[in-house]
Amino acid sequence: MAYVIDPQPQPSVPVAGTEDRFPVRRIFCVGRNYAAHAREMGKDPDREPPFFFTKPADAVIENGATIPYPPETENFHYEAELVVAIGRGGVNIPESEALDHVWGYAAGNDLTRRDLQQTAKDMGRPWDWGKAFDNSAVIGPIHPVSATGHFPDGAIRLSVNGTVKQDADLSEMIWSTPEVIAILSRTMTLKPGDLIMTGTPAGVGALRPGDTVTVSIAGLPDLTTTIGDRA
Ligand code: MN
């Protein structure tokens, strides 16, 4: 057997402090997981069940990259998020065992074409064009749980050109990491290599060509991205 075209390389992100890499399977993202962000998006933050969207694995971008300002948007947003890296898969994972499935954590930036997302919401269409475009998943080096422990709380901040735009605490997540894993595993088979972007706090806003955006999560190194010219 031979592939009739070259298979794509396995998308991956670095593991902190080593030459090793974490292979990425799927990227699940939690929508509206901080009450203040739900309010700024015009939604009631009552504890309705969490919902998810996805990004393709090859949308991953590493720390320090310069990415082109994406096409077809005039409102390109940052979203600072804690990223959970799944090391052991499962279905119907109990909340009490969920953290045993986590290999590590990273800082992330869920880049969003907000205008295309809003159009999709208004027209009842899928979010993919607003969320799942090229270079849309900025993921920092993955830190193994064995080195950092888990992240039930701790500061999460984002700055643009040195000005703080998002400033919150991971404990403000409406749905905790164990709850997200348990709920997600009831509807999708989680597998090793899956990443979960756990949602962003309030303060989302626009990026422009030339901006430098930095995500800071207590216990993880800063994650920095520069926005280049329009693609
Ligand atoms: Mn997000």
Distance 4 CA to ligand 1 centre (A): 36
Distance 60 CA to ligand 1 centre (A): 14
Distance 1 CA to ligand 1 centre (A): 41
> Residue 151 — very low, low, confident or very high, per pLDDT cuts 50/70/90?
very high
Nearest CA among 8, 117, 118 for reference residue 59: 8
CB 181 within 8 A of CB 84: yes
113: exposed, middle or buried (Cβ count in 10 Å: 0-12, 13-18, 19+): buried
Instruction: Name the β-bridge partners of 166.
Output: 158
Structure tokens at 115: 């205008």
- CB atoms inside a 10 Å sphere around CB 185: 21
Of residues 45 and 107, more confidence is placed in 107
pLDDT of residue 114: 98
pTM exceeds 0.85 for this model: yes
- CB atoms inside a 10 Å sphere around CB 171: 11
Distance 199 CA to ligand 1 centre (A): 5
Distance 95 CA to ligand 1 centre (A): 22
In the chain, the amino acid numbered 110 is D
Distance 8 CA to ligand 1 centre (A): 26
Distance 17 CA to ligand 1 centre (A): 27
Please report, to the nearest 10 degrees, the dihedral formed by the alpha carbons of residues 33, 30, 93, 175 taken in order: 0
CB 144 within 8 A of CB 103: yes
pLDDT of residue 44: 76
pLDDT of residue 16: 97
Distance 133 CA to ligand 1 centre (A): 13
Least confident span in 32-41, 85-94, 97-106, 173-182: 32-41
Instruction: Please spell the DSSP secondary structure of 87-100, one letter per residue.
Output: SS-BSS--GGGGGG
Q: Please tell me the distance from the alpha carbon of residue 53 to that of residue 108, in angstroms, as a whole number.
A: 15
User: Domain residue spans in the chain?
Assistant: 20-230
Residues found in the chain: 231
Q: Please tell me the distance from the alpha carbon of residue 113 to that of residue 130, in angstroms, as a whole number.
A: 5
Question: Which residue's structure tokens are 């595993």?
Answer: 185
> Residue 165 — very low, low, confident or very high, per pLDDT cuts 50/70/90?
very high
Distance 33 CA to ligand 1 centre (A): 8
CB 211 within 8 A of CB 161: yes
> Residue 48 — very low, low, confident or very high, per pLDDT cuts 50/70/90?
confident
pLDDT of residue 45: 73
Query: Model confidence over 49-61: pLDDT tens digits?
Result: 899 999 999 999 9
Distance 168 CA to ligand 1 centre (A): 14
pLDDT of residue 41: 84
pLDDT higher than 90, residue 219? yes
CB 32 within 8 A of CB 45: yes
Structure tokens at 107: 């800082």
In percent, how much of the chain has pLDDT > 90?
Answer: 93
Distance 92 CA to ligand 1 centre (A): 24
Mean pLDDT (the chain) is: 96
CATH code reported for the domain at 20-230: 3.90.850.10
91: exposed, middle or buried (Cβ count in 10 Å: 0-12, 13-18, 19+): exposed
Distance 32 CA to ligand 1 centre (A): 7
CB 193 within 8 A of CB 25: yes
pLDDT of residue 96: 98
Classified as helix, coil or strand, 116 is: helix
